[in-house]
Amino acid sequence: MIRIDQVTKRYADGTVAVDRLSLDIPDRAITVLVGPSGCGKTTTLRMINRMVEPSEGTILLDGADIRDQPVNTLRRSMGYVIQNAGLFQHRTILDNIATVPRLLGWSKPKARERAAELMGRVGLDTALAKRYPYQLSGGQQQRVGVARALAADPPVLLMDEPFSAVDPIVRKGLQDELLRIQDELGKTIVFVTHDIDEAIKLGTMVAVLRTGGHLAQYAPPAELLTAPADAFVEDFLGADRGIRRLSFFPSAGLELRTEPVVAMDAPAARLTAPADVPYLLVVDTDGRPLGWGAPDDLTAGAIDPARLLNHGRPFTPGRDSLRTALDGAVLSPTGWAVAVDDEGRATGVVSQQVIGEAIRTAHAAGREDVTAAR
């Protein structure tokens, strides 16, 4: 565990970046520091590996004061990932990743073997090993940065807005990759971001800081969204925090309808929709959704996919949340969400009304849990 105990950082001009901050950062979890500019997020992160020295207070790593060991030894025991990756432009990708093991005295072959292994772990093609950073995309460079931070297998990983410089699609992929890696490796990760959506998605615990380095609230994401500590936290979470909260409600219990699902070569007898479903979901020969069609517009045995309405964004029950299911229903022109399995085959459809009822049930259960906890 990392314990930050009454830590203050005061600069020579009197500016206080962090003010009497206390946090217990749990092992094998992702703790996210989030807040507006000037709230001390990065300063706090850098004090953990002594890139910035605290003015007051102590930081303990597994019960030992971090000032009791040489600063270079401390830093080499922690992975560090920054925005834009911070790669050495004159070194190949393989040698960038092998940097810390080489500093620790590993032989070149052993360090490069470890680097090649990590390229696969972070989703990089090993064919990129002999390229240089400028030859990679921004997202690939960030993956190299993560691999380099993991190269010496450090127990602690510090990440300072590592994904903020890439586009939203790449950013989502990097976030998913980090969660996958964390499931496999179980590192103690401290992650800095200004994006509350990123904090909610990644964090096991989220620390919301206010300007001046004061802690506003420290809680799991679901609790943060359910019960903001004050008006500042509520405003920072935004007006759509209720929608974000749906990310923590599972979609596994949704009652799916299968009778509106028809194959593109369906006979005339199958092209009749139930009374409460005005459209049919057409799937291909492998069972993957193609789109929605009104029964009167479909021709038995020869459905034209080009005439179908977009089926929206599917969700996978049990893996995706009620938020994802609701998003699929809202994006669908029919108001129905399409459920698929892990292979992308349609398993049924569900209406906005049914999703809404599931949300009300989940909210009621959540209120009962809060009451029981009190």
DSSP string, 187-239: -EEEEEES-HHHHHHH-SEEEEEETTTEEEEEE-HHHHHHS-SSHHHHHHH-T
CATH code of the domain containing 60: 3.40.50.300
Q: pTM value?
A: 0.84
Coil, strand, or helix at residue 71? helix
pLDDT value, residue 366: 60
Q: Write the pLDDT tens digit of every residue in 232-251.
A: 999 999 888 888 888 889 99
Tokens 């460079």, residue located:
141
- Find where tokens 């002594």 sit: 50
Reported as a pLDDT band with limits 50, 70 and 90, residue 104 is: confident
- Can you count the helices (H) and strands (E) in the chain? 13, 15
Residues 17 and 133 occupy one common structural domain: yes
Q: Please give the pLDDT value at position 370.
A: 40
| Number of residues in the chain | 374
Task: Report whether pLDDT(27) > 80.
Answer: yes
- Per the structure, the complete domain to which residue 65 belongs is given by 2-248
| Same domain assignment for residues 201 and 290 | no
203, 225, 248 — which closes off a domain? 248
Residue 109 lies inside a defined structural domain of this protein:
yes
- Looking at 214, 248, 282, the residue that finishes a domain is 248
Q: Looking at residue 185, what is its pLDDT?
A: 93
Residues 79 and 163 in one domain: yes
Q: What is the pLDDT of residue 194?
A: 93
Q: CB–CB of 313/251 below 8 Å?
A: no
In the predicted model, what is the mean pLDDT of residues 279-305?
89
User: Residue 373 has what pLDDT?
Assistant: 39
Same-domain check for residues 154 and 297: no
Tally Cβ neighbours within 10 Å of residue 96.
24
Interstrand relation of 2-10 and 16-25 (parallel, antiparallel or unpaired)? antiparallel
Cα 19 to Cα 159: distance, rounded to the nearest angstrom: 21
Provide the number of structural domains found in the chain: 2
Q: Tell me how far apart the alpha carbons of residues 325 and 317 are, in angstroms, rounded to a whole number.
A: 8
The pair of structure tokens assigned to 257 is 């309808």
Residues 293, 297: Cα–Cα separation, whole Å: 7
- Across the chain, mean pLDDT equals 91
302: buried, middle or exposed (CB in 10 Å: 19+, 13-18, 0-12)? Answer: exposed
Q: Using the 3D structure, point to which of 218, 248, 278 is the last residue of a domain.
A: 248
> Averaged over 299-303, what is the pLDDT?
81
- CATH number reported for the structural domain that contains residue 269 in this entry: 3.10.580.10
Same domain? For 201 and 282 the reply is no
- E-assigned strand segments in the chain: 2-10, 16-25, 30-34, 56-61, 64-65, 78-82, 156-160, 188-193, 205-210, 214-219, 261-263, 280-283, 289-293, 336-340, 346-351
Which residues are paired to 220 by β-bridges? none
| Cα distance between residue 360 and residue 249, in whole Å | 11
CA–CA distances in Å: residue 228 to residues 77, 171, 195, 231, 275: 35, 27, 17, 8, 44
Is the distance from CB of 349 to CB of 325 less than 8 angstroms? no
